[in-house]
Structure 1
């Protein structure tokens, strides 16, 4: 559990550093981007290792039907995450599609994982995404992107479906059946 918590702390610190200490970050120049990226990557690796190695301590038993709710939410999370990269009509509808995707992802996983390590990981990521949105909204104005062609949104739907299949395949490969059973 210590690696998991350390990974979460590193992830959060690396992401928030730019906005909470902008002068210090600016003084670092381009090296600061590399340091932040390394901190984020190290945090991610520590979270994965810590989560996979954490003792299973049951807190609650999720009902089986929540698996279906999770999968629908995850399809939405993948779509939202992709919105940030699209140039279609939908992109300008939401200011923080990636962070919204993290929130949806975290809630979806909290619904189907009732162990302590899952609650720590997914609860922390949910809290981080909420705080990140608040900090960004307070520190930056948003210039809404102009809508692009609707066909780009259709491409986003196709990419979402492909990525959802890839993500479920990876979960299965790791020994987690995302469809229950």
Structure 2
């Protein structure tokens, strides 16, 4: 569990640094240029590695029994979570309706995983990531100020977004199955 917690702490610290310490982050960028982004990318990759290793190594400590119907909700909800995450870079007019679509998609992803995983390590991992995503939004709002919604997009952009979300969902489901975690009802 220590590796999992270390990974989560590193993930949160690396993401929140710019929002809670804009002065030091700006100094770092001024001193190092775009190489400072590389440092944060390395820290984030390391945090994911630590989270995966810690989660896989954690003992199974049951906290609650997930509902049987939860798998159906997750299977459908994950398409929406992936779609929301992709919306931030899409050419869909929906992009102008939601501020922070990637964080909302990330939060939905974490909440859905909480629904079908009732053990302590899952509660720590998915619960922490859910809280982080929800906390990150007001921090970004405070830092960046008023939101200028995206204007534009086409129906073709929305169709492309839906197709991409479904394809990515199928790839992610395939990776889960390959790793031995069957993502569909049995």
TM-score between both structures, scaled by the size of structure 2? 0.94
Residue in 1 aligned with 2:3?
3
User: Pairwise CA RMSD of aligned residues?
Assistant: 0.9
Q: 2:174 aligned to 160, 164, 169, which one?
A: 169
Question: Please, which runs of 5 or more residues in structure 2 have no aligned partner?
Answer: none
Structural mapping, 1:18-57, within 5 Å:
18-29=18-29, 30-57=34-61
Map Cα deviations across residues 124-169 of structure 1 (whole Å, 9 max, x no partner).
Answer: 0000001100101111122111121221110011111101100100
Aligned residues: 181
Q: 1:180: how far off?
A: 2.9
Residue in 2 aligned with 1:86?
90
Structural mapping, 1:129-144, within 5 Å:
129-141=133-145, 142-144=147-149
Q: Contact (CA 8 Å) 1:90, 1:147: kept in 2 or not? A: no
Q: 2:106 aligned to 85, 102, 107, which one?
A: 102
Q: Secondary structure at the match of 1:14?
A: helix
Separation (CA, whole Å) in 2 of partners of 1:159 and 1:70: 18
Separation (CA, whole Å) in 1 of partners of 2:185 and 2:114: 15
Question: Please, which runs of 5 or more residues in structure 1 have no aligned partner?
Answer: none
The ranges of structure 1 where at least 4 consecutive aligned residues each deviate by more than 2 angstroms after the TM superposition are: none
Mean CA deviation greater in 27-36 or 48-57: 27-36
Residue in 2 aligned with 1:115?
119
Mean CA deviation greater in 118-127 or 143-152: 143-152
Residue in 2 aligned with 1:15?
15
